[in-house]
Amino acid sequence: MFNPRVIPVLLLKDLGLVKSKAFKDFRYIGDPINAVKLFNNLRVHELVFLDISATANKMVIPIEIIKSIGQEANMPFSVGGGIRTLNDIYNIIRAGAEKVIIGTYAFENPDFIKQASNEFGSSTIVVCVDVKTDFFKKQKVRVFNGHKSTGYSSVDYAKLMEDKGAGEIIIQSIDKDGTMSGYDVDLIKEVSTAVTIPIIALGGAGKVEHLKDAYNKGYASALAAGSMFVYHGSKNGVLINYPEKSELKFNRE
CATH of domain 5-248: 3.20.20.70
Q: Which of 51, 88, 130, 175 is catalytic?
A: 130
Mean pLDDT lowest for which of 37-41, 96-100, 135-139, 220-224?
135-139
Q: Is residue 36 classed exposed, middle or buried when 0-12, 13-18 and 19+ CB atoms within 10 A define those classes?
A: buried
| pLDDT tens string 230-246 | 998 777 888 999 998 88
Note the pLDDT of residue 1: 57
Average of per-residue pLDDT across 216-222: 95
Residue 40 has pLDDT above 70, yes or no: yes
DSSP secondary structure string for all residues of 197-232: S-EEEES---SHHHHHHHHHTS--SEEEESHHHHEE
Distance of CA 222 to the CA centre of its chain: 10
Look over the chain and give the mean of its residue pLDDT values, rounded to a whole number.
94
| pLDDT tens string 12-32 | 998 899 998 988 888 999 999
Average of per-residue pLDDT across 72-84: 97
Note the pLDDT of residue 103: 97
| pLDDT tens string 163-215 | 999 999 999 999 999 999 999 999 999 999 999 999 999 999 999 999 999 99
Note the pLDDT of residue 172: 97
Residue 225 has pLDDT above 70, yes or no: yes
Dihedral, CA of residue 34, residue 202, residue 234 and residue 33, to nearest 10: 0
**In the annotation, is 134 catalytic?**
no
Note the pLDDT of residue 250: 77
Q: Is residue 9 classed exposed, middle or buried when 0-12, 13-18 and 19+ CB atoms within 10 A define those classes?
A: buried
Note the pLDDT of residue 253: 64
For the chain, the domains span: 5-248
